[in-house]
Structures are given as structure tokens and as C-alpha cells.
């Protein structure tokens, strides 16, 4: 199928539909609205359910219900809307049913603004909902990757009976890029045995997240964690650029990652041996490659469109072996490549330290520029 | 003299839609009656194997243990949203929620209004017992003015705590709702009438006529601090005046069906 | 090789479509391209604009601080983007809407009365194509023929009757040449 120029939000919607999405439930919020709008036209056109819910609470619980039937279902939202969905996400995790969430992140906290940001890293990667659970988190950096990861999200959700989030920021949602959409897949016909459908005279099925008996709940938690270990073993994805001879390594995901790529190339032109590690799965986090790089590289620069939420995961792996510095912009401000280049040069020029916290040093510098 | 040969005839048995196990409900509580009515109706309609139930949070949180039906368990208040998700992918199945008054009329008000206004083709069994039962008898949106509960110890003061919500009346104002009625479970006569309403509500769904809800006035002797008999009287004397029984919404298509 | 263009103006001047046409052409020519509307770091300010990045390799940042070229359809756009054009880059100014000269002397400046030209050839709505033509006449980015082809393919069906006018607009714009850059 040929590439077409397509907006990120629209591309994700169409990719989901072609991947066999059987029902969509959502609520309008900028900057993800085109996703919902596209499906509001396309789903009824091919006879599949689309519901604009009364709220994000309604939407995620409609997804919960439909997910209990074992069908391919999803919702999409943006940061404040996803906050409202946290309840339902925890229940879905606790019931072990597959579902896909697309979060097109905007500036926050609170109502914030509609500009692109990555401030949802913590709420998506490290929970947000209550209890011991993980979401498998995919972070595209381009429209094509958003398409591919959306299709993958459904497969992974079903493979592990798991929640899968596609975490992208507003600029990927709003940007047009050439992308090849997947071919139309037939809808799934095999319904998993655990899915409710009516007993038809057979044994009844019950899907619930309640376990009043703590030892039984603990067994369930153990099952979830074992499954997560399996996911950690099988599903880590990342993309490396210029890492082979890299003395310095920039780590950034999504849009911050591709902005860093421009800076890394500019630095390479100046003879600086710098590479880029762009995690594609934020959970599970690409620990092994980062661990390997911690032995080889002189120093790390983490770049994010937030206050350093992924930074903590990087520091956990680097464990003080090498200096880690941080650069971020917050609240919907997107860094330009030259800002990142300046930070790469700072890394090269030193002095570098493994003392203190990189966030403190960054905040001191940022305070001088934006007051 | 020879006794006439009278063949044995079963006049009462457990509906197939009910699981043969003892419930956790308190003595005198009418949840068991409501469960049985739903089960009898589904059996009589031949729908038991074609039904998916949605339990809610409250005393009926374990309803799925007592029905011999595929069941899911919703978050507090969200049963109508969950039922929407199921009904939309399985339009030919019977989907119902079973919700209490705290669940439906307080935390879940957004979801029930959304479902009713969309004319969602689900059936809602709504238990109104004027308090939060499971958590120990706190004030509910349905608690009567002056009624003492564990969180309105001197009686519900309408100046500070507002007024009870008349759910059936309110939902009946929505164009999307098709069949909204209130019945009671305090006497055998009313129980028979409640069953007829439940039957109609499921028939509404089966015929694709839209959103149906049966509000059932119920007793909660434990939290009301009464015997079972006293609680039946209290329901009749105190609840009926505030929550009159009746048909609040019968859409023309449903009226046609009832003929 | 990577080149970047920011097209800025009032809403209704066809700024976003001009950028999309560039992007479609780049795609048809087998290049990598990103198109992003005024959204992100440059959304501070009062103009509608879009950024188009065209490259031979995987594109990094879709946001650009110092683009190869800027098309300024009105005065606020000139005010905002004049300083941002990359040294040696191209600035196309709509002289019909701008009552001042350009201060930069290290870039190529194309000053073109685009509204008048558009009116001459049929409709002021072709102003975006006149400006785009003026850019392509002064920057080795994409050929006019390639843009013609993209117009044939991507102009919405209901606008197909404007095809000849749009193609003429591109060529009339391309006739305008930049003033020579003074050697520094």
C-alpha cells in the first residue's frame, strides 16, 4: 500500500480500525479530537459501534465492559481525560482483560493547555490508577510509528490479556507525515474462552476485579507480576542512532527523541561522538541496552518535554556509574534542536559530576533563562 | 375407600437462572426477592443462557455469585457504562445492570443519565432502600428527610443535606428512556406487580425498544435497626409517600407492546 | 539535504494548504516530509502558520527555529519570522499586505504584490499559490511541474475548476526574483 500524507490522530484512528477495532468509546478533548472524529464517521460506515460517552469515566468503563467480551476495543483521550480514566484502567488491569488506550499528551498540570507535552509519563508508565499493575506503554515518534504501534498494541493486549497504552504527544497527533496504513484485517472470529457472551446452557463466566480474601488477591497479584516479567523479557523495543562509537548518549522518547536526533546530527557535524537512544517501549523500559551503554559512554543527557520523569528510570539503570544530565521544557513548550545541541556541548565541555541531582542543576539553569 | 390418585405437581422450585447457594444478604432484606424475580423472568423468557449481567458496588456486589448467568462486576456507579460497552458489541444479548441507590443515584448519576438519554438498549434493576447498606447504613441520595442514618445521626436535615432524589421521575423526563416504573417489594401483592414490571422491562429490551428501568423500593432491616416486619411497615408508611409507585414513562411503542 | 519552510499569514489566506501542497509534492518526489500547523513552540503570536520540513533522510525535529525559507503573507508574519530565516535563506514577502521594507541584509528577499497578481489572474484566493511560486522561483526545493502534478492529484474535486488559475499563479509568482544578497 502506498504512503499517504496523513495527520497523526487520523492515522492512528484508521490504523486501529483496519487492525480490527470492534468498538470505540471516547470523549472529545484537544489535541486528540480528530481521532474520535475520524472514527465517528468510519465505524458506523462499516457497521461497528462508536459511542461518544458522557465523560471519560463513562468511556473507559464502556471499554471495560466491551473488553470483557474479548473483542478488540479502545479509547483515546488527552492528559486531563486520562486522569479521569485511571479508575477504569485499574479495574481493567485487575480483571485481566485486554484493552488499548491512546493518550495524546498536552501541557499540564490541571487544565494546562493544548500544546504538546510528555508530562503523562508518570501517570501512564508508573501507574496513576490504584494497586499493583503495569500498562505496557508504546511511545511513537512519528506518524508511521504511531500507525505501526497502534496495530501492535492490539496484538500485545490480546497476547498478554493486558492494558496497552500508546503514549504520544500533541504534535504527533497534529502533524502530517507520509505513512503507510495497514491493510484492512478481517475481524477476529475466535472469542477467548474467558470472555462473557451468555452461558448458552454451559458454565457461567464471571469477570471481576474483587478478591475479598487477601491471600487470593495476592495470588492474583503474583500472576500479574509474573506476566509482567514475561513482558519485560519479550517486549522491550527501542531505536538507537549513532550508538556504535558514541562517547555521549542522549536519551529521549517520542517527539523529544526526534528533536534530539536533529541535535545529535548537528553535533556529529561538529565532530562530537554522540548517539541517541530512543526508547519505544517506556514500559517495559529498555534497561539492558542502557546498562550496556553505561559501561561504554562517558556521560548521558536525558531530554524530555516534562520535568524529568523518565530521568528517574534512566538514573536507576545508570546507578551513578556515569554522569547523567537533564534538559527539559515543560507546560507545553517544545525544545528546539539548538537548545539540545547546547546541552550536548555542555556535556562535552564539562565539568561533569555524578554528585547531586541533574534536575536541580537543570532547574537552576532554566530559572536563569525563563525566570 | 380408595384415595383418588393425585399426581404430584411441582409448584415451586429454584429458577435455573439462580445459583444454588446461600446468599450473604441479611434476614428480611429484599435483595433475595429481587434476584429471584429477575431470575424467574429470564427463565420464563428463555433468556437465561443469552444474558450478561453487570453487578455494581454495594450490598449486591456479589450478585454474580447468585445468578447462573455470565456476569461482570463494575466499578462503583459505572455499571450502565459497562453495560453499554457489552450491549453495543452484543446487541442480540440481553444485558442488565443490578444497582443500588448509592451506586446509581449518587456516584453513578452521570452514567445512568448518559445511558438513559442515549436510549441504550439495556435493562436496569434499581434497588432503593434509602441508605448505603454495604458500608453500614450511611445517608444515601434516597434517604428521606429526617431519616436517621450513621452519617446523618440526628436525621437528614434538608437545609444542610438537601433532598432525596426521585430517580424514576427524573429519568422519565429523558426522551431516550422508554420504560421507567417504580414498584415495591414490601408485600406479596407488590412483589407480583414488581415481577410483571421486570418482565415488561426485559421485553422492552428484547424488542429493541430502548432503555428500561425498574426502581424497586426495598427494605434494609439491619441498617434501619428494625425487624423484618417493622421494616416492611416503615417502607409502606414512610417511603411510599415520597416515592409513589407507578409508571413514569411508557413510550408509545412500549404501550403497544403491553397490549 | 534538508530544507525547511515556514508559511505564515492570516487565517483564510490558504497558509495551511500551501504547506500541504508542498508536502504532497515532496512525498510524490520520494522525499521525507513533515507538516505541522501552528502548534508547539511557535504558537506564541498572532498568526496562522505551518512548518514544512523536506529531507532526503529520516527527519528529526518537525519544529524549526531557523528555517531555510519563510513565506510572510502579512505584516505580523514578517514581524515574527524575519529574524528567524537562516542566513543565506529566502524570505518571500507579500508586498500587498506589508508596508515596510525588510531589515535583514543577509538573506534573499522576494517582495511581491501577491494580492494584486492573484486578482489579475482571477481571484484573490490564489494568493497562496502566487507566494509559493515566488518561493520556488528562488529556492531549489521542488519544481513547478512537480507542484502541478501534486495539484492535479490532491486538489479537492470541488476545487478542480481552479486548477488552471492555480498553475498560472505559481508561474506568475516564480517570475519574481530576489534582490541580490550583498556580500558580507
Query: Measured between CA atoms, how close is A174 to chain B, in angstroms?
Result: 29
Q: CA separation (Å) from A254 to A108, A259, A310, C4, C30? A: 17, 9, 12, 21, 24
CB contact under 8 A, A22 and B83: no
Q: Do C and B make contact, counting contact as 3+ CB pairs within 8 angstroms? A: no
Tell me the mean pLDDT in the region A166-188. 95
Phi, psi dihedrals of residue A275, rounded to the nearest 5° = -125, 175
Decide if A64 touches B, using CB distance below 8 A: yes
* Residues of chain A contacting residue C63, judged by C-beta atoms under 8 Å apart: 171, 259, 334, 336-337
DSSP designation for B57:
S
Distance (Å, whole) CA C70 – CA C82: 8
* Residues of chain A contacting residue C34, judged by C-beta atoms under 8 Å apart: 175-177
ipTM score over 0.95, yes or no: no
Nearest CA in chain B to A211: B62
- pLDDT above 90 coverage of chain A, percent: 96
Distance (Å, whole) CA B79 – CA B96: 9
pLDDT on residue C180: 63
Interface of B with A (CB under 8 A): 19, 48-52, 54-55, 61, 64-65, 67-75, 78, 81-86, 88-90, 93-94, 110-111, 113-114, 117-118
User: Could you count the other beta carbons within 10 Å of the beta carbon of residue A77?
Assistant: 26
pLDDT on residue A272: 98
Distance (Å, whole) CA C8 – CA B112: 48
CB contact under 8 A, A5 and C23: yes
Asked if the model's pLDDT at residue C105 lies above 90, the reply is: yes
Among B201-215, C45-59, C113-127, the minimum mean pLDDT is found in C45-59
Asked if the model's pLDDT at residue C179 lies above 90, the reply is: no
Asked if the model's pLDDT at residue A336 lies above 50, the reply is: yes
pLDDT on residue A74: 98
Distance (Å, whole) CA A316 – CA A320: 8
Residue pointed to by grid coordinates 447504613: B137
pLDDT on residue C149: 96
CB contact under 8 A, B82 and A49: no
Tell me the mean pLDDT in the region B173-196. 98
* Residues of chain C contacting residue A262, judged by C-beta atoms under 8 Å apart: 60-61
- Edge to edge, the sheet with strand A23-26 lists A50-52, A23-26, A73-77, A99-105, A163-169, A136-138, A281-283
Taking the model in full, what pTM does it have?
A: 0.94
Closest to A139 (Cα-Cα) out of A286, A359, A34: A286
Query: Measured between CA atoms, how close is A263 to chain C, in angstroms?
Result: 8
Closest to C22 (Cα-Cα) out of C11, C10, C12, C36: C36
Query: Angle between the B79-89 and B109-117 helix axes, to the nearest 10 degrees?
Result: 30
- DSSP H helical segments within chain A, as ranges? 8-18, 33-45, 56-67, 79-95, 121-125, 143-160, 170-174, 214-234, 254-269, 287-296, 309-318, 337-349, 358-370
pLDDT on residue C107: 96
* Residues of chain C contacting residue A116, judged by C-beta atoms under 8 Å apart: 39-40
Query: Measured between CA atoms, how close is C139 to chain A, in angstroms?
Result: 22
Q: Which CATH class is domain A239-370?
A: alpha beta
User: Could you count the other beta carbons within 10 Å of the beta carbon of residue C39?
Assistant: 23
- Averaged pLDDT of chain C: 91
Query: Measured between CA atoms, how close is B64 to chain A, in angstroms?
Result: 7
- Tell me the CATH architecture of domain B31-258: 3-Layer(aba) Sandwich (3.40)
Tell me the mean pLDDT in the region B89-96. 98
Instruction: Say if CB B28 and CB B186 are below 8 A apart.
Output: no
Nearest CA in chain A to C2: A262
C53-70 pLDDT tens trace? 999 999 999 999 999 999
Decide if A171 touches C, using CB distance below 8 A: yes
Q: Do C and A make contact, counting contact as 3+ CB pairs within 8 angstroms? A: yes
Among B238-247, B250-259, C80-89, C172-181, the minimum mean pLDDT is found in C172-181
Return the C-alpha cell found at A335: 525544545
- Averaged pLDDT of chain A: 97
* Residues of chain A contacting residue C62, judged by C-beta atoms under 8 Å apart: 171, 175, 255, 258
Which parts of C68-179 are beta strand (E)? 69-72, 90-94, 108-112
Nearest CA in chain A to C54: A177
Instruction: Say if CB A208 and CB B53 are below 8 A apart.
Output: no
Tell me the mean pLDDT in the region B85-114. 98
Residue C160 φ/ψ region, left for φ over 0, alpha for ψ in the -120 to 50 degree band, beta for the rest: alpha
Query: Measured between CA atoms, how close is C40 to chain A, in angstroms?
Result: 6
Decide if A40 touches B, using CB distance below 8 A: no
Tell me the mean pLDDT in the region A169-191. 94
pLDDT on residue C44: 42
Decide if A27 touches B, using CB distance below 8 A: no
Asked if the model's pLDDT at residue B131 lies above 60, the reply is: yes
Decide if A262 touches C, using CB distance below 8 A: yes
- Tell me the CATH architecture of domain A4-234: 3-Layer(aba) Sandwich (3.40)
Decide if A87 touches B, using CB distance below 8 A: yes
Give which of C18, C19, C27, C60 to mutate to test A binding, by max A Cβ within 10 Å. Answer: C60
Return the C-alpha cell found at A362: 537543570
Counts for chain C of helices (H) and strands (E), in that order: 6, 6
Distance (Å, whole) CA A195 – CA A205: 7
- Domain C2-174: what homologous superfamily? Pyruvate-ferredoxin oxidoreductase, PFOR, domain III (3.40.920.10)
Taking chain B, what is the end-to-end CA distance rounded to the nearest angstrom? Answer: 50
Per-residue pLDDT band for C42 (boundaries 50, 70, 90) equals very low
* Residues of chain A contacting residue C17, judged by C-beta atoms under 8 Å apart: none
According to DSSP, the β-strands at A238-241 and A274-279 are: antiparallel
Q: Where are the domains of chain A?
A: 4-234, 239-370
Q: CA separation (Å) from B210 to B37, B127, C55? A: 21, 20, 55
B138-166 pLDDT tens trace? 999 999 999 999 999 999 999 999 999 99
Tell me the mean pLDDT in the region B36-58. 97
Residue pointed to by grid coordinates 490504523: A15
Distance (Å, whole) CA A282 – CA A136: 8
Nearest CA in chain C to A175: C36
* Residues of chain A contacting residue B104, judged by C-beta atoms under 8 Å apart: none
* Residues of chain A contacting residue C59, judged by C-beta atoms under 8 Å apart: 258
Residue pointed to by grid coordinates 504558537: C43
pLDDT on residue C182: 57
Closest to A330 (Cα-Cα) out of A139, A166, A116: A116
Distance (Å, whole) CA C95 – CA C113: 5
Interface of C with A (CB under 8 A): 20, 23-24, 27, 32-37, 39-41, 43, 58-66
Asked if the model's pLDDT at residue A188 lies above 90, the reply is: no
* Residues of chain C contacting residue A255, judged by C-beta atoms under 8 Å apart: 62
Amino acid at each position: 500500500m502506498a504512503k499517504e500524507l496523513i495527520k497523526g490522530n487520523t492515522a492512528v484512528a484508521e490504523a486501529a480500525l483496519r487492525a480490527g477495532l470492534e468498538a470505540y468509546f471516547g470523549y472529545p478533548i484537544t489535541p486528540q479530537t480528530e481521532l474520535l472524529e475520524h472514527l465517528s464517521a468510519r465505524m458506523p460506515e462499516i457497521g461497528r459501534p462508536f459511542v461518544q460517552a458522557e465523560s471519560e469515566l463513562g468511556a473507559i468503563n464502556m471499554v471495560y465492559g466491551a473488553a470483557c467480551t474479548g473483542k478488540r476495543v479502545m479509547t483515546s483521550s488527552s492528559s486531563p481525560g486520562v486522569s479521569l480514566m485511571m479508575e477504569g484502567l485499574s479495574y481493567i488491569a485487575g480483571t485481566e482483560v485486554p484493552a488499548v488506550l491512546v493518550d495524546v499528551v498536552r501541557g499540564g498540570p490541571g487544565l494546562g493547555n493544548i500544546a504538546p507535552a510528555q508530562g503523562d509519563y508518570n501517570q501512564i508508565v508508573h501507574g496513576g490508577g490504584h494497586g499493583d499493575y503495569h500498562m505496557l506503554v508504546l511511545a511513537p515518534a512519528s506518524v508511521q510509528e504511531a500507525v505501526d504501534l497502534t496495530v501492535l498494541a492490539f496484538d500485545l493486549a490480546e497476547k498478554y490479556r493486558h492494558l496497552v497504552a500508546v503514549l504520544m504527544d500533541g504534535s504527533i497527533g497534529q502533524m502530517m507525515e507520509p505513512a503507510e496504513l495497514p491493510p484492512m484485517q478481517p475481524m477476529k472470529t475466535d472469542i477467548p474462552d474467558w470472555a462473557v457472551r451468555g452461558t448458552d446452557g454451559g458454565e457461567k463466566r464471571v469477570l471481576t476485579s474483587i478478591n475479598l480474601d487477601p491471600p487470593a488477591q495476592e495470588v492474583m497479584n503474583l500472576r500479574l507480576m509474573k506476566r509482567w516479567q514475561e513482558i519485560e523479557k519479550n517486549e522491550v523495543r527501542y531505536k538507537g542512532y549513532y550508538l556504535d562509537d558514541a562517547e555521549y548518549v542522549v536519551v529521549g522518547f517520542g517527539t523529544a527523541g526526534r528533536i534530539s536526533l536533529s541535535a545529535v546530527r548537528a553535533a556529529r557535524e561538529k565532530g562530537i561522538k554522540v548517539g541517541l537512544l530512543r526508547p519505544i517501549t517506556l514500559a517495559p523500559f529498555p534497561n539492558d541496552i542502557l546498562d550496556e551503554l553505561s559501561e561504554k559512554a562517558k556521560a548521558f543527557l536525558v531530554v524530555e518535554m516534562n520535568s524529568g520523569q523518565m530521568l528517574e528510570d534512566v538514573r536507576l539503570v545508570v546507578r551513578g556509574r556515569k554522569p547523567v544530565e537533564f534538559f527539559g521544557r515543560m507546560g507545553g513548550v517544545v525544545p528546539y534542536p539548538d537548545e539540545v545541541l547546547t546541552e550536548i556541548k555542555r556535556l562535552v565541555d564539562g565539568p561533569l559530576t555524578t554528585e547531586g541531582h541533574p534536575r536541580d542543576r537543570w532547574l537552576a539553569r532554566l530559572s536563569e533563562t525563563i525566570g | 375407600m380408595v384415595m383418588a390418585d393425585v399426581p404430584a405437581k411441582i409448584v415451586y422450585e429454584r429458577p435455573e437462572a439462580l445459583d444454588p447457594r446461600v446468599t450473604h444478604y441479611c434476614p428480611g432484606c429484599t435483595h433475595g426477592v429481587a434476584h429471584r424475580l429477575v431470575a424467574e423472568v429470564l427463565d420464563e423468557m428463555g433468556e437465561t443462557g443469552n444474558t450478561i449481567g453487570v453487578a455494581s458496588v454495594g450490598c449486591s456486589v456479589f450478585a454474580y455469585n447468585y445468578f447462573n448467568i455470565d456476569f461482570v462486576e463494575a466499578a462503583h456507579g459505572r455499571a450502565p457504562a459497562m453495560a453499554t460497552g457489552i450491549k453495543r458489541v452484543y446487541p442480540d444479548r440481553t444485558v442488565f445492570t443490578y444497582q443500588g441507590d448509592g451506586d446509581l443515584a449518587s456516584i453513578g448519576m452521570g452514567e445512568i443519565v448518559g445511558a438513559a438519554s442515549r436510549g441504550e438498549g439495556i435493562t436496569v434493576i434499581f434497588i432503593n432502600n434509602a441508605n448505603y447498606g454495604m458500608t453500614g447504613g450511611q445517608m444515601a441520595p434516597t434517604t428521606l428527610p429526617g431519616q436517621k442514618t450513621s452519617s446523618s445521626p440526628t436525621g437528614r436535615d434538608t437545609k444542610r443535606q438537601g433532598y432525596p432524589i426521585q430517580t424514576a421521575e427524573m429519568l422519565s423526563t429523558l426522551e431516550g428512556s422508554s420504560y421507567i416504573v417504580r414498584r415495591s417489594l414490601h408485600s406479596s401483592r407488590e412483589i407480583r406487580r414488581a415481577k410483571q414490571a421486570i418482565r415488561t422491562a426485559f421485553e422492552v429490551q428484547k424488542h429493541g425498544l430502548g432503555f428500561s428501568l425498574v426502581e424497586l423500593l426495598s427494605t434494609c432491616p439491619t441498617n434501619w435497626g428494625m425487624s423484618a416486619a417493622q421494616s416492611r411497615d416503615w417502607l409502606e408508611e414512610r417511603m411510599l409517600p415520597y416515592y409513589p409507585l407507578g409508571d413514569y414513562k411508557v413510550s408509545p411503542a412500549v404501550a403497544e407492546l403491553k397490549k | 539535504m534538508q530544507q525547511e519552510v515556514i508559511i505564515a499569514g492570516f487565517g483564510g489566506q490558504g497558509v495551511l494548504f500551501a504547506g500541504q501542497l508542498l508536502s504532497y509534492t515532496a512525498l510524490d518526489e520520494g522525499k521525507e516530509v513533515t507538516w505541522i500547523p501552528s502548534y508547539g513552540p511557535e504558537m506564541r503570536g498572532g498568526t496562522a502558520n505551518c512548518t514544512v520540513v523536506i529531507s532526503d533522510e529520516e527527519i528529526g525535529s518537525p519544529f524549526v527555529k531557523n528555517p531555510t525559507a519563510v513565506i510572510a503573507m502579512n505584516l505580523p508574519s514578517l514581524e515574527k519570522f524575519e529574524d528567524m530565516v537562516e542566513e543565506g535563506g529566502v524570505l518571500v514577502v507579500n508586498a500587498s499586505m506589508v508596508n515596510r521594507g525588510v531589515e535583514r541584509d543577509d538573506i534573499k528577499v522576494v517582495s511581491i504584490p501577491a494580492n494584486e497578481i492573484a486578482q489579475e489572474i482571477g481571484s484573490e484566493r490564489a494568493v497562496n499559490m502566487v507566494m509559493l511560486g515566488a518561493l520556488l522561483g528562488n529556492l531549489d526545493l521542488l519544481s513547478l511541474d512537480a507542484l502541478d502534478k501534486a495539484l492535479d492529484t490532491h486538489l479537492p474535486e470541488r476545487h478542480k475548476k481552479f486548477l488552471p488559475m492555480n498553475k498560472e499563479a505559481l508561474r506568475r509568482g516564480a517570475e519574481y526574483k530576489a534582490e541580490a544578497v550583498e556580500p558580507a
